[in-house]
Amino acid sequence: MTVALMWEARAAEGRGDALLAWVRERHLPARPLRREVLRAPGDRVLVITWWDAAYDAELPELPEPSGELVTRAVHRWRFESVEAQESPGR
Give yes or no for residue 86 having a pLDDT over 90: no
Indicate the average pLDDT of the chain. 95
Q: How far apart are CA 12 and CA 35, in angstroms?
A: 24
Domains and CATH numbers, the chain: 2-58+65-80 (3.30.70.100)
Residue 90 confidence (pLDDT): 63
Query: What pLDDT does residue 25 have?
Result: 96
Say what the pTM is. 0.90
State how far the Cα of 2 lies from the Cα of 51, in Å rounded to an integer.
5
- 3-state class (DSSP) for residue 44: strand
33-59: average pLDDT: 97
Q: What per-residue confidence (pLDDT) applies to 20?
A: 97
| 89, pLDDT greater than 80 | no
- Within 8 A by CB and 6+ apart from 29, the residues are 60
